[in-house]
Amino acid sequence: MPSSPVASTSSIPFDPARLDEINASLADASPQDVLTYAIDFIPGLFQTTAFGLTGLAATDMISRISRKRKQPHAVPLIFLDTLYHFPETLDLARRVEKKYQLELQTFRPPGVETVEEFEKKYGEKLWETDEDTYDYLVKVEPARRAYDTLGVKAVITGRRRSQGADRATLEPIEIDSTGLVKVNPLCRWGFQEVKDYIDMAGVPYNPLLDQGYKSVGDWHSTVKPKDGEGERSGRWASNKTKTECGLHKDYFAMKRAFEKKQLEQARAAADKARGDEEVGESSVDLSQETDATSQDLGASFSDLKLGA
């Protein structure tokens, strides 16, 4: 392990105010070094995973660090079950649990456990009719619920610079708008480096990759990238401009947008129940509700801030 990260951080715990200094000290660190630093100095650390190659490599590295220390798997795993994963992904989740002797903390969309329940409550093919709401329900809300339930202060991600778009300038450690610390241990690796590690270490991976897929999400939106297309270009078949599912977007903006839509729907339903032909005045005051919601957001997730 290079001496710089240890020398500069070993005497004190993680301090968000020193983020630039810490990232500078990790500039030449290997993924294993970044993970070791995170395990030792960042509190409330979990790994969120959809069992992509990069996340699997990180899980294997954590396992090796843990075994070397003769400890159980050092970082608990959170799996967001969207209910629309490929069967191969769900089978991989079970294999990872068994191989690394860990228990997945699984979270699903609010109030439902099956596809049938989801579509009855939220509508069929919601990813086509309202993609932002779909992302909020299957990824963003379950993630925040997981963080609140489990006391998560930091997460290990599978993001890499080579994936492009918003990820092109990733640092090993970042802090988002909610105060959540995001550790990106393989941010400097390319796809081939990750795949080489997977093969070398004998890490189980999704068999769909052998069929030409490179980034696997929900079955209804994932296609094989064409020759010359980027690694994540097949992730959202119907939306070529999309680069993130919502987990790494502005959480507060997504929550406000979702709640505004809910209020609009409630207003429309109230108008219809009164027999109004057109949407007019309503007992639902949308502006006041939205303002109150905005004020509540900071308090709702204040416990996510480091040191809370």
On the question of pLDDT at 293 being above 70, the answer is no
Asked whether residue 242 is domain-assigned, the answer is no
Cα 82 versus chain centre, distance? 12
Asked whether residue 234 is domain-assigned, the answer is no
Q: Which among 93, 245, 247, 304 is annotated as catalytic?
A: 245
Tell me the per-residue pLDDT of 103-154, one tens digit each, with 9 for 90 and over.
Answer: 999 999 999 999 999 999 999 999 999 999 999 999 999 999 999 999 999 9
Share of the chain above pLDDT 90, in %: 58
Q: How far apart are CA 156 and CA 31, in angstroms?
A: 11
Please tell me the predicted confidence (pLDDT) of residue 269. 74
* 168 and 258 together in one domain: no
* 267 and 204 together in one domain: no
Residue 192's pLDDT band, with cuts at 50, 70 and 90, is very high
* 30 and 166 together in one domain: yes
Please tell me the predicted confidence (pLDDT) of residue 70. 97
Asked whether residue 237 is domain-assigned, the answer is no
Asked whether residue 221 is domain-assigned, the answer is no
Asked whether residue 83 is domain-assigned, the answer is yes
Look at residue 49 and give its three-state secondary structure.
Answer: strand
* 111 and 258 together in one domain: no
Sheet holding 45-49, edge to edge: 105-107, 77-80, 45-49, 154-156, 181-183, 173-175
Return the amino acid letter for 39.
Answer: I
Specify whether the CB–CB gap between 47 and 80 falls below 8 A. Answer: no
* 285 and 197 together in one domain: no
**The domain that contains 187 carries what CATH number?**
3.40.50.620
Whether 187 sits among the annotated catalytic residues: the reply is: no
Q: Which of 211, 233, 268 is the last residue of a domain?
A: 211
Supply the pTM of this predicted model: 0.76
Asked whether residue 53 is domain-assigned, the answer is yes
Number of folded domains that form the chain: 2
* 184 and 264 together in one domain: no
On the question of pLDDT at 102 being above 60, the answer is yes
Range of the domain at 295: 251-304
Specify whether the CB–CB gap between 105 and 79 falls below 8 A. Answer: yes
On the question of pLDDT at 308 being above 60, the answer is no
Most confident of 23-32, 232-241, 274-283: 23-32
Q: Which of 181, 211, 241 is the last residue of a domain?
A: 211
Q: Which two tokens stand for residue 7?
A: 């020398």
Tell me the per-residue pLDDT of 210-265, one tens digit each, with 9 for 90 and over.
Answer: 998 888 989 999 988 877 666 655 554 555 444 445 565 667 677 787 778 878 77
* 207 and 85 together in one domain: yes
For residues 252 and 71, the model is more confident at: 71
On the question of pLDDT at 45 being above 50, the answer is yes
Lowest mean pLDDT across 33-37, 203-207, 286-290: 286-290
Q: How far apart are CA 302 and CA 294, in angstroms?
A: 13
Return the amino acid letter for 292.
Answer: A
* 49 and 189 together in one domain: yes
Asked whether residue 220 is domain-assigned, the answer is no
Asked whether residue 257 is domain-assigned, the answer is yes
Please tell me the predicted confidence (pLDDT) of residue 223. 85
* 186 and 276 together in one domain: no
* 118 and 47 together in one domain: yes
Q: Which of 211, 241, 262 is the last residue of a domain?
A: 211
Q: How far apart are CA 35 and CA 302, in angstroms?
A: 26
* 196 and 101 together in one domain: yes
* 189 and 282 together in one domain: no
